[in-house]
Structure 1
Amino acid sequence: MTSRATAVTEARPLEHRAFLFGGLDDFLSRAVPFVRDGLDDDGREVVVVVAEPRLTALRDHFPGCADDMFIDASMFYSHPVRTLRSYLELVKAKDPKRVHALAEPVWRREWTERETLEWARYESLINEVFKGTGASALCPYDTYTLPPRILEHARRTHPRLVQGSTETRNERFTEPEAFSAEADRARVFPTPRESDYLPVASHDLHELRRWVGDRSERHGLSRQDAQNLVTAVNEVAANALRHGIPPVGVRLWTEDADLVCEVGDNGYWRDFSPLVGFVPPRTALDNGFGLWTVRLLVDLVEVRAGWDGTFVRMRLRR
């Protein structure tokens, strides 16, 4: 008779490594063996998500492999939380095989410091979201082209470092919760004097949805983005009315290319975690389910929880 302990699949550790390379030849010297090791292991499923020209160069080394094994990173890495969801779907689709991913995050020069920090947080979250899956991820970072602050993010968010033929334990690694808390502390939350404001006192949020929708389109959001923001604000406001302390209010303003909408209440979120809404919930009843959905709908969500109240700020590029 099989015991309950042996019937349950044991959690398998995640392998998450930063691969620091300089130039194409150095990249291929490590990437090709990594992909080949995955292909030779019947228990693994290989996925290659890298940027050009490295994608084509790597594909040329494996002419017999299916095209869908190779994914252009510039298309895949478009939004931190949506990319997390895509990898989760991939891991689920390949189960019981373990995903063996060469996964190169994309870092764009035109990103603001706020956007760059969210992608660094994404790399940190990999350690939390995929722990116990047995997945293996090698994340390439080009030391010839990436600025020092990005390479520093790599060292903070990966438990192990690979450079040349050497793999070492990363002494600079910071646990995801601590990394996210540090990222939040680095932010400032100024609210402009000129902002539209709507007090929210009723659980009937029809007026709030109309108010946000009208202003979103007036400020240049597409119809789909405006609808996404309406849905996101409705979710956050309903949660503030249910769990927060009055007064509850919504502010909306423009900031450079962004439309910003903030829901605030006077309550103190005692059990707030910097990972809330980043780690996907298992059910709709789990803590953070609503905020996970909100993060998928808009470009960026920032949360400030203190003694002066709880504020959820949502951004969408106009």
Structure 2
Amino acid sequence: MRSVERVRDDACPGGRGHTAVVVGSDDGLLDVVVPWLEAGLAAGDVTVLSCAEETAELLRSAVGAPDTELLSDPRVALRGARAPDAVVATRRLLDRAAASPSGSLRVLGAPEFGPDPRTWREGQRYESVVNDLLAGSPLDALCFYDQRQLSAEVVASAGQTHPHLLLDGVRVASAGYLPPAQYLPALPLPREPMEDGPPLFAVDGAEELAPLRHQLAAVLATCVPDREQVGDLHLAVSEIAANAFRHGTPPVSARVWASPDRVVCTISDRGAGFADPLAGFQPAHGDDLSRGGMGLWLARKLWDHVDLVPGPGGLTVRLSSPLH
């Protein structure tokens, strides 16, 4: 019989934090996770599953809790959502938890990393930045990394992006943890393969923002068949171009590459770029969108992959997405 007392918080007073656990079977998952979920329900936490629906059903059955008690929100773990929207979803759950008996939120997550290193990087970034974005919140998040589904590289990154690990039912400090300001710059930023070929569109030394925006709209319209997607992609790249003109150092350059299933766009200037590792994961000025500061945030909301690539000649913002 499983015991709630098995999960001890020796290195995390109050039982709150961002913790990872590695599992390799359904039984191993249940042994670790069920006591942790039961503890949250017993304490009156708002308790949420953010994982594949079949896993959620397995856990509900094992806990014996209906979905009215053991809630589900896949977005928190990047399932059907990009990082800025996952952060918003978590904050809304925190607002809901504020009215709960404990005032706390407990989230079990199986982060979505996708099929290749490009998508792994987005998941790893998110797992890192939430440590700062949600610092001080009444949140206990346990992320399980399933060795049957994730690459060895992704599993190994759990210790770098989580301040705590769950080992044999005991929460301990992760010796390999790196705060976002150290972890994010160390992530590799390989070139997109299309960057090695000729661009569909190229401009160097753009003199004004408005003509560049029109040019980008025209080229995206030729290579992005979905009208809604082309509107979203153009809105975001226009804001990145605006940032380059307003806050960067001229000259401003732009490139677009396209294939039948993917589009890549870069905006470059001679500036030093963003020092804040959290840039773009939330609006620069918080909830007051009237103050601006939304360019990189919109890009992360509307493009699948956003890379800030510093170089000796300045900063390049690289945007890429699969085509719908």
TM-score tier by shorter-chain length is 0.7 to 0.9
CA distance in 2, matches of 1:217, 1:162: 49
Which ranges in structure 1 are unaligned for 5 or more consecutive residues? Answer: 1-11
Alpha-carbon contact 2:18-2:164 (below 8 Å) kept: yes
Matches of 2:80 and 2:173, distance apart in 1: 27
In structure 2, how many angstroms separate the alpha carbons of the residues matched to 1:242 and 1:71?
Answer: 38
SS in 1 for 2:105: strand
- Aligned counterpart, 1:104: 110
TM-score by length of 2: 0.82
Q: Residue 208 of structure 2 aligns with which residue?
A: 202
1:37 alignment partner, one of 29, 35, 39: 39
In the alignment, the residues of structure 1 paired with residue 215 and residue 158 of structure 2 have an alpha-carbon distance, to the nearest angstrom, of 42
Tell me the secondary structure at the aligned position of residue 69 of structure 1.
strand
Asked if the contact 1:13–1:131 (Cα under 8 Å) also holds between the matched residues in 2, the reply is: no
Q: 1:77 to 1:127 in 2, by over 3 A?
A: farther
| Secondary structure of 1:53's aligned partner | helix
Does residue 1:214 correspond to 2:215, yes or no?
Answer: no
The separation in 1 between residues aligned to 2:96 and 2:127, in whole angstroms, is 21
> What is the one-letter code of the residue matched to 1:104?
A
Alpha-carbon deviation of 1:79?
2.5
Query: Matches of 1:50 and 1:189 in 2, distance apart?
Result: 29
Letter in 2 for 1:124: S
Query: Mean Cα displacement is larger for which, 249-258 or 128-137?
Result: 249-258
Cα separation, partners in 2 of 1:286 and 1:92, compared to 1, 3 Å? farther
Q: Distance in 1 between matches of 2:226 and 2:130?
A: 31
In the aligned structure 2, how far is the partner of 1:245 from the partner of 1:59?
Answer: 54
1:246 aligns with 2:247: no
Q: Which amino acid aligns with 1:177?
A: A
1:300 alignment partner in structure 2: 305
- Structure 2 counterpart of 1:56, one-letter code: E
The gaps in structure 2 that reach 5 residues or longer are: 1-13
Residue in 1 that maps onto 2:49 = 48
Please list, as runs of the form range in 1=range in 2, the aligned pairs for 1:17-96 lying within 5 A after superposition: 17-42=19-44, 44-60=45-61, 61-66=63-68, 69-72=71-74, 76-95=79-98
- Contact 2:19–2:164 (8 Å) recurs in 1: yes
Residues in 1 aligned to 2:196 and 2:182: alpha-carbon distance in whole angstroms: 30
In structure 2, how many angstroms separate the alpha carbons of the residues matched to 1:311 and 1:145? 33
Give the count of matched residue pairs. Answer: 300
TM-score (norm 1): 0.84
Deviates more, 1:260-269 or 1:92-101: 92-101
2:278 is aligned with 1:272: no
Residue of structure 2 in register with 1:160 after alignment: 164
- On the 8 A contact 2:113/2:122 being kept in 1, the answer is no
- Offset at residue 229 of structure 1 (A): 1.4
Check whether the contact 1:104–1:140 (CA below 8 A) recurs between aligned residues. yes
1:287 CA displacement? 9.2
Correspondence list, 1:93-242, <5 A: 93-95=96-98, 97-108=103-114, 111-183=115-187, 185-188=188-191, 191-192=195-196, 194-195=198-199, 196-199=201-204, 200-203=206-209, 205=210, 207-242=211-246
Q: 1:15 aligns with which of 14, 17, 28?
A: 17
